[in-house]
Amino acid sequence: MNQFASLTSKAISDLKSIVGEQWISDVPATLLPYAVNIDPAGDVFPSAVVRPKDTSEIQSIIKIANRDRIPIYPISGGLQHGLGMATAVDPGNLLLDLGRMDRILDFDPSIGLVVLEPGVTFKQLYDFLEAEQAPYWMSPTSGPVEGSVIGNALDKGAGYTPVGNHFANLIGLEIVLGDGRLLVTGDGALPGAKSAYTHKGGCGPLIDGLFAQSNYGIVTKAGVWLMPKPPGARGFVVQVPEYEDIDRLVEVGGVLKLRGAIPSTVSIANDLFSIGIETTTPYPFKEPGESPIADDELADLRRQHGVGAWNLFGCIYGPPGELESRVATIAEAFAKTGTTTFLTEEQASEQKTFEFRIDLAKGIPRADEVDVYGLHPNGSSLYFLPSVPFAGQNAGEVMRASQAVCREYGFSYTSQFLGSPRSMRNTQPIIFDSEDAGSRERAVACFSELIDRFEKLGYLVSRPPTTFQDRIMGGLGVHAEVCSAIKSVFDPNGIIAPGRYGIRSSDI
């Protein structure tokens, strides 16, 4: 069985010769930002951090790591709030920070394509497109604007525009494998292929997907397809008064999304998720078994903040003269189901919790969603992200399950559904007191209970925090076995991010 080794003085010296002395450090003060984890699992210290500038340096680093059996944990931004940040699965990894690789290598306005390195951020790409006066939009997340475009896509992140499936926008991935070889996916496997960034198919199996949520290699650049800028866009909000109305709201929203009437991502946030983004006064926690905000308080808070029990946001695109009638048709479809409140874009823009979503749906990066942590004192978050069919009965089932578990452990039920044509990602930040050990422990226990409850109901957590990735993968049987077998092919010594998404080489 292979064993990983500590980072030796020779290895440090060899790494310095590759990247330069200023780009590697094992000083604790330098390592601290890479060790800090805002979720309750606690800090995970690397042995050192190295910051390469290009693909050739990464290949040289990989050579040393294989020689000395040094585990490497690559990050592009390390800003995955509530999902693990920059921390490795295990302590003692060599942290490979790709932030220096921040070049926009190419922009082809004829096909709406940019070629990026992994250090390019959402803000950087947005600013570039603005400076170029490009007739294209990028697809931002609702997280930190300094997050990595490629890193988010590789972790199956999502946005609000019609091209919100971020991994689907990637093409022609350049990857340094764990054995040091350089792989290019799709048509780009042929050197000089003119279709490298226009056709993903390549020849033989499609293998791009193997590098999403995996640890088989290090992506050093990729093409990103952009969305052509539409002639007009118009957002709207539909509110319903009670939690149980989620069934009808989702049912209509799902049909409209599937038929293309709502081309943007459909966002459906509950009252506390919406209030948390707006509130300037944190609500104190109560004892386990009690919700921090009582049910009878919620009605008053909804009125104060102008939100419903559930609030559906969508955006439509096209010629400006057509948008009003299309919005009216959408409003009518929801009104037929029962009591609703409909907000036009102008009305929604008056409230922070809706205004930032309008920008996101128009390709403008905004980080306001992290303000939901302010719902409670010293708020931090652990994100629970199960996948749910876009159907009313499923939304109602998972709502009731989550409400019960959150109440049992003394946490608020903060929830948002992000809908694609047939599926929704249920985004649930478990907001806990980061300065209270008991609150942190309960957050971990709450998350574990949610996993168990949802597995029994038939819902998979598709994007778990680092701490729980092994737990989720451990329940996937043959799938997990195949992932480990593939790891042994691409990364025979298992040096890249051991344990990420529960994947380790089968002989380690």
* pLDDT tens for each residue of 446-456: 999 999 999 99
Q: What is the dihedral of CA 67, 72, 75, 81, to 10 degrees?
A: 180
Q: 66: which residues sit within 8 A by CB, 6+ positions away?
A: 178, 179, 180, 493, 495
Task: Specify the pairing of strand 341-343 against strand 94-97.
Answer: unpaired
**Closest Cα to residue 27, out of 6, 50, 5?**
50
**Distance (Å, rounded) from C-alpha 335 to C-alpha 342?**
9
| Helix 466-473 vs helix 478-490: crossing angle, to nearest 10 | 120
Q: Does residue 411 contact residue 431 with C-beta atoms inside 8 Å? A: yes
- For residues 46 and 88, is the Cβ–Cβ distance under 8 A? yes
Of the chain, the percentage scoring pLDDT greater than 70 comes to: 96
| Mean pLDDT of all residues in 337-356 | 96
Q: How far apart are CA 487 and CA 224, in angstroms?
A: 26
Q: Find tokens 């601290």 and name the residue.
A: 32
- Looking at residue 43, its pLDDT comes to 81
Distance CA 237, CA 235 (A): 7
Nearest to 392 by CA among 244, 236, 240, 260: 244
Which residue did the predictor score with more confidence, 142 or 396? Answer: 396
Beta-strand ranges (E) seen in 377-455 are 379-384, 387-389, 416-419, 423-433
The owner of tokens 């400006």 is: 320
Sort strands 266-270 and 416-419 into parallel, antiparallel or unpaired. antiparallel
56 pLDDT above the threshold of 80: yes
Query: pLDDT grade, residue 317 (50/70/90)?
Result: very high
Percent of the chain with pLDDT over 90: 80
Token pair, residue 47, equals 């042995």
The token duo for 188 is 């780009």
Mean predicted lDDT score pLDDT of the chain: 92
Q: What is the DSSP letter of 100?
A: T
- In angstroms, the CA 110 to CA 406 distance is 50
**pLDDT digit string (tens) for 293-311?**
988 899 999 999 999 999 9
What mean pLDDT comes out for the span 420-442?
A: 93
154 SS3 class: helix
> What pLDDT is attached to residue 143?
82
Q: Where are the beta strands (DSSP E) in 71-157?
A: 72-75, 94-97, 104-108, 113-116, 136-137
Contact 127, 50 (CB under 8 A): no
**Distance, CA of 131 to CA of 134 (rounded, Å):** 8
pLDDT-based confidence at residue 508 (cuts at 50, 70, 90): very low
Q: What is the mean pLDDT of residues 146-153?
A: 93
Tokens of residue 249, six digits: 């709201």
Q: What residue has token string 């999403």? A: 212
Q: Is the pTM of this model over 0.95?
A: no
Please name the helix (run of DSSP H) or strand (run of DSSP E) that holds residue 249, with its range, or none.
Answer: helix 246-258
- In terms of Cβ atoms closer than 10 Å to its own Cβ (0-12, 13-18, 19+), residue 23 is middle
- The pLDDT of 60-89, averaged and rounded, is 83
The pLDDT score that the predictor gives to residue 79 is 60
Task: State residue 212's pLDDT score.
Answer: 94
Mean pLDDT of 375-390: 93
DSSP string, 335-403: HTTS--EEE-HHHHTTSHHHHHHHHHHTT----GGGGGGGGSTTEEEEEE-BEEESSHHHHHHHHHHHH
The Cα 186–Cα 174 span in angstroms is 10
Please compute the mean of the pLDDT values over residues 329-343 and round it to a whole number.
96
Instruction: Determine the Cα–Cα distance for residues 235 and 289; give it in Å rounded to an integer.
Output: 38
What CA–CA distance (Å, rounded) separates 339 from 341?
Answer: 7
Which range has the worst mean pLDDT, 3-12, 195-204, 475-484? 3-12
pLDDT band at 1 (very low <50, low <70, confident <90, very high): very low
Cα–Cα distance, 432 to 430 (Å, whole number): 6
Domains, the chain: 9-98 (3.30.43.10), 104-228 (3.30.465.10), 233-465 (3.40.462.10)
Would you place residue 197 in the very low, low, confident or very high pLDDT band (cuts 50, 70, 90)?
A: very high
**Helix (H/G/I), strand (E/B), else coil: 244:** helix
What mean pLDDT do residues 80-109 have?
A: 86
